Amino acid sequence: MRVLVVEDEVRMAALIRRGLEEDGYAVDVVATGTDGIWQAEEFTYDAIVLDVMLPGADGFEVCRRLREEGRWAPILMLTARDAVDDRIRGLDAGADDYLTKPFSFGELAARVRALIRRGAVDRPTVLRVGVLSLDPASRRAWRGDDELVLSTKEFALLELFLRHPDQVLSRTMILEHVWDFAYDGVSNIIDQYVSYLRRKVDKPYGSEMLETVRGAGYRLRATGSTPADPTAGP
Ligand code: CA
């Protein structure tokens, strides 16, 4: 197992390297964000230990760049004590876990082991299905290059469809995921909201990505529904 450590503090980097090597890992250490990106693009790592505060690109930037390029090595971010905002930003940038400085080496080693067990799984921070994309962290959604203006419920509904492309979602399932259990309103609320969403996602483009499956529910078609769609990419 090979681990990349991106940390500019020499003593900290040396400590992590020594500990991980004693645990049997092959360890590469770089001291800037730029080198971290280069190294992680050039080689395949089983895990990356990434400090947030780095010269060049900071840890968030490194993480975001690697995820954008489809590099899914699990990333453990090292954040400053009590910097809740850093943890949120790190996780939203595509990190898998974080550890607050100062930490014990034992804890770092345990987290690295856990991440390696999980493996490099695709988990894009931005969901994409066909021409639709949605970023849950920034709460923005697009069709092609057009940004969609969605209400909170419409956004939640679109996110649910994007997480289950080509699957039929029953009204019950949609209700359970997008509304809470206490919901006791009108029974055709789902149909209403799907219709709102269609007005923004399909109608202006003359497409039918959101289709009704009679007697079953709704389905977001990932492909094939809009052959003449001018906004569809290659
Ligand atoms: Ca640092």
Residue 4 dihedral angles phi and psi, to the nearest 5°: -100, 130
CA-CA distances (angstroms) from residue 209 to 21, 28, 229, 230? Answer: 51, 46, 11, 14
Residue 217 dihedral angles phi and psi, to the nearest 5°: 150, -135
CA of 10 to the centre of ligand 1 (A): 9
CA of 184 to the centre of ligand 1 (A): 51
Q: Is residue 231 part of a domain?
A: no
Q: Is residue 226 part of a domain?
A: no
CA of 72 to the centre of ligand 1 (A): 22
> Which domain, by its residues, includes 10?
2-118
85 and 169 share a domain?
Answer: no
111 and 143 share a domain?
Answer: no
172 and 212 share a domain?
Answer: yes
101 and 141 share a domain?
Answer: no
177 and 147 share a domain?
Answer: yes
The CATH number that applies at residue 156 is: 1.10.10.10
Taking only the tens place, the pLDDT of each residue in 164-202 is 999 999 988 888 788 765 666 667 888 999 999 999 999
CA of 33 to the centre of ligand 1 (A): 10
Final residue before a domain boundary, out of 101, 118, 135: 118
Question: What are the beta bridge partners of residue 211?
Answer: 219
DSSP 186: -
CA of 35 to the centre of ligand 1 (A): 14
The CATH number that applies at residue 110 is: 3.40.50.2300
Which stretches of the chain score pLDDT less than 50?
Answer: 225-234
Both tokens of 105, joined, read 């080496």
Q: How far apart are CA 53 and CA 48, in angstroms?
A: 15
CA of 59 to the centre of ligand 1 (A): 9
Q: Is 9 exposed, middle or buried (0-12, 13-18, 19+ CB in 10 A)?
A: middle
Q: Report angle CA 80, 81, 83 to the nearest 5 degrees.
A: 70
CA of 81 to the centre of ligand 1 (A): 13
6 and 30 share a domain?
Answer: yes
Helix (H, G, I), strand (E, B) or coil at 124: coil
DSSP 74: -
Q: Report angle CA 135, 138, 144 to the nearest 5 degrees.
A: 45
Residue in 24, 28, 138, 12 with CA at minimum distance from that of residue 78: 12
CA of 103 to the centre of ligand 1 (A): 14
CA of 110 to the centre of ligand 1 (A): 21
Q: How far apart are CA 31 and CA 8, in angstroms?
A: 4
7 and 103 share a domain?
Answer: yes
CA of 123 to the centre of ligand 1 (A): 26
Final residue before a domain boundary, out of 100, 118, 136: 118
The structural domain count of the chain equals: 2
pLDDT of res. 181: 59
Q: Is residue 234 part of a domain?
A: no
How many CA atoms lie less than 13 Å away from 170 in the CB half-sphere? 5
CA of 22 to the centre of ligand 1 (A): 23
CA of 2 to the centre of ligand 1 (A): 21
109 and 30 share a domain?
Answer: yes
Other Cβ atoms closer than 10 A to 189: 16
110 and 134 share a domain?
Answer: no
Q: Is residue 166 part of a domain?
A: yes
Final residue before a domain boundary, out of 75, 94, 118: 118
pLDDT of res. 158: 95
